[in-house]
Amino acid sequence: MTPFRLKLSMSALMVASTLALTACDAQVTIDTTDSAHTKKDVTAKDANTFITNTEKELSALYLESSRAEWIYANFITHDTSALSAEVNRKMTETVVRLANEAAKYDELELDYDARRKLDKLKLALTLPAPQDADKTAQLSQIVAELGGLYGKGKYCKEDGSCLSLGDMTSKMATSRDYNELLDLWQGWRQISKPMRSLYEQQVVLTNEGAKELGYADTGAMWRSKYDMPADDFTTELDRIWGQVKPLYNSLHCHVRAKLGEKYGTDKVPQDQPIPAHLLGNMWAQAWGNIYDVVAPENADPGYDVTELLAQNNYDELKMVKGAENFFTSMGFDTLPETFYERSLFVKPKDRDVQCHASAWNIDSKDDLRIKMCIQRTGEEFSVIHHELGHNFYQRAYNKQPLFYQESANDGFHEAIGDTIALSVTPGYLKEIGLLEQVPDESKDIGLLMKMALDKVAFVPFSLMVDQWRWQVFSGQVQPENYNKAWWELREKYQGVQAPIARSESDFDPGAKYHVPGNTPYTRYFLAHILQFEFHRSLCEIAGNDKAIHRCSIYNSKEAGEKLNAMLEMGSSRPWQEALETVTGKQQMDATAMLDYFAPLQTYLDEQNEGRNCGW
């Protein structure tokens, strides 16, 4: 996955609203005294005036925030950090105030747009602070402490040597030493133990804030962002997972068998969940790093995109221009000249920058940019296509009101980027002159296996993180069972188990950034489902007659027109209507993922014959 920076949009607040909670003070309670009296006196006209004024206020603030954040990301200094922190403080403080003011209009009968905009403003908060200033300050402190514990976390051994998360991540990707992997896995989870009591307090406080905004709890508030009743959304997610589960189970069975061959079935029993430290990733969320252990024989496709780029003299700029050409071939307008003047493509030698790939729209119009320290590799070539997918989405909805300048739901933006990346196929590489001959389909199994280890393996993990949090927020899971419930869900959905005994003195959820960082995770589940659904539908629109995994929508004006029609909607209409624009249906359908990996499913069925699958 490639996270992006959706600048000047409501979803930026969903991600960033906890960044500066430490700045929230008594100002949060502005206009909330005697709230019952206030709600009684307001009118529809008041609501529309509030919306108009809010849009103006936030537009100016977003522009200021975007510029400060861009400068900080590209010139990391003490001063730019201070400027970024200050504007984040101001933005969060403003949104907390406006969200609470928006709640005053809950009981009014309003037209569609007014109600939708007010709801979006309320739902812009990830952690709703209580209106009590002391409790808000307490929540601010907890958020800061949780972030600090994770950000400063490292594993220090008895000999005095210390490893950062980056160090451990690299080692887990390449080591095949069972005991070394176990040591790293245990070591990182020491950092989350002190988070436990803090997280418990945070749940109580943020639930109070959610109830003040009219939601049953914080989890119900998060689920209310999806244009359907919160409980119905939970049911919908389980339905979609049920479609993917047979493919996942087949992949799980094969991977477990190969790990059993590698480490011995005493360490990897063939009738139990897989030990979590053996899958090449600190959280066992994606398994691509162990491709060498499970790869099919003779799976080499016969070409290397990195080598092809070098042979054809592709530098960083040519890689970006090539990706832009993908979109213009579909009928999209070229990017503005300012995109090339203002983006960051190459890591500077004279200063520190944030190299993580991200897509930006600075002014909510046409000031589009990407920030990448591009490496001349095949993987980075796909990432550039992905990032430009965000940029073209940002530009498509820039004529919408500010409240609607975001994707249809928070899974759509990542899904669009990944949909485009799915079209970087051998056939596409041949069309643009990088590849002379498309390999025979028999060579596709290796490519599909590599992709499934990342995309299919990730699906249940992306579902269970918020399943755990929602149960915690609702009280279904009590603090004395935090860790027990975490591992029960991991076993249920992933078929993965802790490699050593865990207890309630541990807090293993906190070892994953998005939990102490309070970043909702369901968006990643949705993105992984939607990208294949979009891809299948756009391939049909383009008249594709190949297997779906070999299809590229490059050069299809018909697919481009249909895609743009959805992108232009932003979040102005329920996501179900946006989905229907491309797929013809208002219900998500994970069978597209099954269609994409159909050849791999056949291979896995052959490999798993006679094996004991399941756990």
Catalytic residue check, 357 = yes
> Residue 355's closest CA among 3, 48, 85, 74?
74
CA distance 438 to 457: 27
Mean per-residue pLDDT, 479-505: 98
Q: How many CB atoms lie within 10 A of CB 288?
A: 18
Residue listed under structure tokens 């979590």: 276
pLDDT given at position 11:
35
Pairing between β-strand 368-371 and β-strand 274-275 as defined by DSSP bridges: unpaired
pLDDT in tens, 268-316: 999 999 999 999 999 999 999 999 999 998 888 888 999 999 999 999 9
Residue 37's pLDDT band, with cuts at 50, 70 and 90, is very low
306-313, Cβ contacts within 8 angstroms, sequence gap of 24 or more? 306/376, 306/377, 306/378, 306/379, 308/378, 308/429, 308/434, 308/435, 309/376, 309/377, 309/378, 309/381, 309/434, 310/376, 312/433, 312/434
Which of 40-44, 103-107, 254-258 tops mean pLDDT?
254-258
Catalytic residue check, 609 = no
High-pLDDT (> 70) share of the chain, %? 93
Catalytic residue check, 514 = yes
Helix boundaries (H) for 30-77: 35-41, 44-74
Three-state secondary-structure class, residue 309: helix
Q: DSSP secondary structure string, 259-295?
A: HHHHH-TTTS-TTSPEEGGGSSSTTSS--GGGHHHHP
pLDDT given at position 596:
98
Q: What is the DSSP letter of 9?
A: S
State if pTM tops 0.85. Answer: yes
> Residue 404's closest CA among 70, 85, 8, 63?
8
- At 90, the amino acid letter reads K
Instruction: Tell the burial category of 190 from Cβ atoms under 10 Å away from its Cβ (0-12, 13-18, 19+).
Output: middle
Helix axes 78-102, 44-74, angle to 10 degrees: 160
Catalytic residue check, 390 = yes
High-pLDDT (> 90) share of the chain, %? 78
pLDDT given at position 363:
92
Residue 446's pLDDT band, with cuts at 50, 70 and 90, is very high
Question: With 80 as the cut, is the pLDDT of residue 605 above it?
Answer: yes
pLDDT in tens, 314-362: 999 999 999 999 999 999 999 999 999 999 999 998 888 888 889 999 9
pLDDT given at position 138:
92
Higher pLDDT, 251 or 86: 251
Catalytic residue check, 277 = no
pLDDT in tens, 210-260: 999 889 999 999 999 999 999 999 999 999 999 999 999 999 999 999 999
H/E stretch holding 567: helix 557-567
pLDDT in tens, 153-195: 999 998 889 999 989 999 999 999 999 999 999 999 999 999 9
Q: How many CB atoms lie within 10 A of CB 575?
A: 24
Residue 38's pLDDT band, with cuts at 50, 70 and 90, is low
Bridge-partner residues for 241, per DSSP?
Answer: none
Question: With 60 as the cut, is the pLDDT of residue 29 above it?
Answer: no
- At 460, the amino acid letter reads P
> Residue 582's closest CA among 322, 396, 326?
396
Q: CA angle, 324 as apex, 318 and 329 as ends, to 5°? A: 120
CA distance 400 to 324: 23
Structure tokens at 200: 């418990």
pLDDT given at position 133:
84
Cβ contact 552:424 at 8 Å: yes
Which entry of 107, 180, 310, 356 is annotated as an active-site residue?
Answer: 356
Residue 15's pLDDT band, with cuts at 50, 70 and 90, is very low
- At 524, the amino acid letter reads Y
pLDDT in tens, 49-62: 999 999 999 999 99
Structure tokens at 296: 């099919």
Which entry of 390, 413, 535, 549 is annotated as an active-site residue?
Answer: 390
> Residue 320's closest CA among 294, 351, 342, 348?
342
Three-state secondary-structure class, residue 369: strand
CA distance 534 to 314: 29
Question: With 90 as the cut, is the pLDDT of residue 595 above it?
Answer: yes
> Residue 247's closest CA among 592, 501, 611?
592
Structure tokens at 238: 């389980």
- At 307, the amino acid letter reads E
CA distance 459 to 52: 40
H/E stretch holding 328: helix 316-328
pLDDT in tens, 371-390: 999 999 998 999 999 999 99
CA distance 503 to 463: 23
pLDDT given at position 5:
33
Residue 613's pLDDT band, with cuts at 50, 70 and 90, is very high
H/E stretch holding 489: helix 482-494
How many residues are present in the chain? 615
Residue 90's pLDDT band, with cuts at 50, 70 and 90, is confident
Which entry of 137, 236, 295, 514 is annotated as an active-site residue?
Answer: 514
Residue 39's pLDDT band, with cuts at 50, 70 and 90, is low
Which entry of 93, 208, 380, 387 is annotated as an active-site residue?
Answer: 387
Mean pLDDT of the chain: 90
Which entry of 386, 413, 535, 549 is annotated as an active-site residue?
Answer: 386
CA distance 312 to 611: 46
Q: What is the DSSP letter of 546?
A: S
Q: How many CB atoms lie within 10 A of CB 160?
A: 6
pLDDT given at position 1:
36
Helix axes 557-567, 378-396, angle to 10 degrees: 60
CA distance 202 to 248: 34
> Residue 543's closest CA among 551, 329, 425, 427?
551
Computed on alpha carbons and rounded to an integer, the radius of gyration of the chain in Å comes to 24
pLDDT given at position 40:
63
